[in-house]
Chain A
């Protein structure tokens, strides 16, 4: 896919997820907007997945451990053709298909339930270990949030994965600097994060999480250790009134704000 097409894809995904959250009055637009470039590169440039054969045992697997950003993942999967875009109209509503936090039975392409933080990395590790045992080339990518690094259960797999030399496992930290009820490093200071993860024997790559070239290079970097990509992102990226605002962890855009957001995204 060409660069111009990829940019258009990010626009489609941003508009779709905002429409979903507008329609259902749902939260977490900011958390979904920060990962749109990451999701776009994953699903359109990196992951070996086939919407026609979503259960192929040889496929790569992606787990969105920060399950509250589900609107971003659903919009991306629909854009990639895993299911019809009409599914997106049935997000977070009565008689819906797609719940606010991920039910992996809800639609094709979802690899794990998510919503309770601090699970996805361990589940992904289990998949990575299984792939090695089964001699499959399948790679596993898990995306966690910066706030999720507060969870004790995250540090168990962070200790174990390098010990097991799981070079088929990649973690992306969506470092958007704002968590549920405060500025991430004011709630609990994660810094120095890079050095911390290096000290745990991860291969650490730090990037601008909105630069798709950097994202692609980081994903393709060959390492003998499991890899963590610290993706510096902006919460609410692409919508001026949402950017770096904690309230957009919760609020849902009304029609007027949605129109404004669409205008900004299209320009």
Chain B
């Protein structure tokens, strides 16, 4: 996803001179194409995330569209109060781009994992929170971000995620995508679990269960209409995310359900409010937290009474 981000940003920067790229010293083997083509619009501020974010706000106040790129916790947690005041409160056109959703950084350790970012970013007024599920969504989201009004946060995966969406689909920030249709139950995924959620649908299909799959690529503004549409079918709803189950996609879906008057079977799959102390690859840690197609499909079958 990060390569797609950079490729798209370079293409957009050729068309729009307001685009700037700021990094707090992260981006080796990713950012070079931008750096080489637009040296006057590229700034490495050194290992100083707070400065990066506030500088971006100052640039945005001067009419530019700056993208701040680094590893996810360092773009949205380290400089959180700068984001709150200089980006969200002042409603500046700053784009925060965090690479490494959930456990993407695997064995690098929990300092580089990101399981609270959606919760804290969606609590900020004015902030748009985009969590693309595949490179196609990244490309579309970045293209639309150039002229989007107000601050935005992008939560990107790191490994070479496959394209799950049908590229003929229409992508609009704030509108969830129905990736698969199904009549028995609904799975809603955000960010880098789209592939897992799609595989869960396949496993369920093999058991004769027809599941729809929603890619909730925008967490804020949240597509309440899509959730309400699912609720009207009175079928079970499951959320899947590589994020703490507190405050992320599952919480956002739960908020809609709680006020809807419907009472569907509903379960959040995600990180069960724990930091990882495991050492291992992204997939290894996902396995430890049950964020796998096997574990999720097994639990869904159990919950709907079809073992």
- Which A residues lie at the B interface, using CB under 8 A? 57, 103-104, 111-113, 115-116, 118-119, 122-131, 133-134, 152-153, 156-157, 159-160
Contacts and interface: CB of A to CB of B under 8 A. Distances in A.
Given A119-B54, A122-B55, A160-B48, A134 B62 contact: yes
Given A127-B59, A153-B50, A160-B48, 18 more contacts: A57-B62, A103-B89, A112-B58, A122-B58, A122-B82, A123-B54, A123-B61, A123-B86, A125-B55, A125-B58, A126-B56, A126-B61, A129-B55, A130-B63, A152-B50, A153-B51, A153-B82, A156-B50
A104 B57 CA distance: 13
Nearest to A130: B62
A166 to B, nearest CB: 11
Interface string B70-98: 00000000000110011001100000000
Contacts, number: 92
A123 B58 contact: yes
Given A129-B43, A133-B41, A123 B55 contact: yes
Nearest to B43: A129
A116 B81 contact: yes
A239 B20 CA distance: 48
B123 interface: no
B45 interface: yes
Contacts of A124: 58
Which 9 A-B pairs give the minimum distances between C-beta atoms? A126-B58, A122-B54, A130-B62, A156-B51, A126-B55, A156-B48, A123-B58, A126-B59, A127-B58
Contacts of B57: 112, 122-123, 126
A149 to B, nearest CB: 15
A122 B50 contact: yes
A131 B62 contact: yes
A119 B85 contact: yes
What is the interface of chain B mostly: helix, strand, loop, or mixed?
helix
Nearest to B84: A116
Nearest to B20: A133
B209 interface: no
A260 B242 CA distance: 64
A98 to B, nearest CB: 16
A115 B81 CA distance: 12
A254 B59 CA distance: 43
A159 B46 contact: yes
B64 interface: yes
B229 interface: no
A123 B43 CA distance: 15
Contacts of B20: 133
A122 B45 CA distance: 11
B259 interface: no
A124 B80 CA distance: 19
A156 B22 CA distance: 15
Given A104-B90, A119-B86, A57 B58 contact: no
Contacts of A116: 81, 85
